[in-house]
């Protein structure tokens, strides 16, 4: 009897920008494997971008990631705030892309504060020139981890966004919340852990 093929999980997040992106991606894939899932980290594409203009490099990366997402059964998104009050914008796109494909969306954040609390905090310290925000512009406040479109995309296909309070020095690399999201994905996809 052949062994069942594990569900492929697209591992979205700003982790790809970290100096140790490959090791973080490998660690995430190992956690997935321990739970009967096949993690697919976006750097898996091994694209040859040498000699290409920046716009063409960006195009090829985007299309490769879309291809990877189409080949996956679900997504786990790192929704930890990145460069502001909200999650990484590329990761938000990937959540929407997978939701539009009708695939399950799981997410986690290494901070526990609500989106509104973070947005108000940034507003209080001052906004960069050209930022659209201002005191009279409403801040969405539904007690959610992220913008309602993202948070609901997660809660409609699985449990709500996993929120984990990481120590500030580990907020970029802590995998406790990710592990909880993997367990939730495995349960939802009815997969038996490998160990």
Ordered structural domains, the chain, with CATH:
8-188 (3.40.50.450)
For residue 148 the two structure tokens come to 């309602």
Half-sphere exposure of 134 (CA within 13 A, CB side): 4
The residue to which tokens 């982790």 are assigned: 15
Q: Is a pLDDT exceeding 60 seen at residue 70?
A: yes
57-66, 93-102, 123-132: lowest mean pLDDT where? 123-132
In the predicted model, what is the mean pLDDT of residues 184-192? 91
In the predicted model, what is the mean pLDDT of residues 128-153? 89
Q: How confident is the model at residue 148 (pLDDT cuts 50, 70, 90)?
A: very high
| DSSP assignments along 72-89, one per residue | -SEEEEE-S--SSSS--H
Q: Which tens digits make up the pLDDT trace of 36-52? A: 999 999 985 578 899 99
Q: How confident is the model at residue 76 (pLDDT cuts 50, 70, 90)?
A: very high
Tell me 52's DSSP state: -
Task: Give the per-residue pLDDT at 42.
Answer: 92
Task: Give the per-residue pLDDT at 44.
Answer: 59
In the predicted model, what is the mean pLDDT of residues 10-35? 96
The residue to which tokens 């080949």 are assigned: 71
In the predicted model, what is the mean pLDDT of residues 132-149? 90
Task: Give the per-residue pLDDT at 177.
Answer: 97
Q: What is the spatial distance between Cα 182 and Cα 180, in angstroms, rounded to a whole number?
A: 5
Distances (CA, A) of 182 to 19, 42, 118, 119, 121: 23, 17, 26, 28, 30
| DSSP assignments along 57-118, one per residue | HHHHHHHHHHHHHHT-SEEEEE-S--SSSS--HHHHHHHHHHHHTT--EEEEES--S-HHHH
Q: How confident is the model at residue 131 (pLDDT cuts 50, 70, 90)?
A: confident
pTM for this prediction: 0.93
């Amino acid at each position: 009897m052949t062994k069942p093929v594990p569900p492929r999980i697209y591992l979205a997040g700003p982790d790809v920008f970290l100096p140790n992106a490959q090791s973080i991606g490998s660690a995430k894939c190992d956690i997935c494997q321990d739970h009967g899932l096949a993690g697919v980290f976006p750097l898996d594409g091994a694209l040859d971008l040498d000699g290409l203009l920046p716009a063409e490099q960006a195009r090829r990366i985007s299309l490769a990631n879309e291809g990877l997402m189409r080949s996956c059964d679900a997504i786990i998104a790192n929704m930890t705030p990145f460069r502001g009050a909200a999650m990484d914008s590329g990761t938000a796109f990937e959540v929407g892309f997978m939701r539009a494909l009708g695939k399950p969306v799981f997410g986690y954040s290494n901070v526990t504060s609500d989106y509104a609390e973070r947005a108000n905090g940034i507003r209080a310290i001052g906004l960069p020139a050209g930022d659209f925000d201002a005191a009279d512009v409403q801040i969405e406040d539904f007690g959610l981890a992220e913008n309602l479109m993202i948070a609901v995309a997660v809660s409609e296909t699985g449990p709500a966004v996993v929120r984990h309070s990481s120590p500030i020095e580990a907020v970029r690399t802590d995998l406790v919340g990710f592990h909880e999201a993997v367990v939730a994905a495995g349960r939802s996809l009815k997969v038996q852990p490998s160990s």
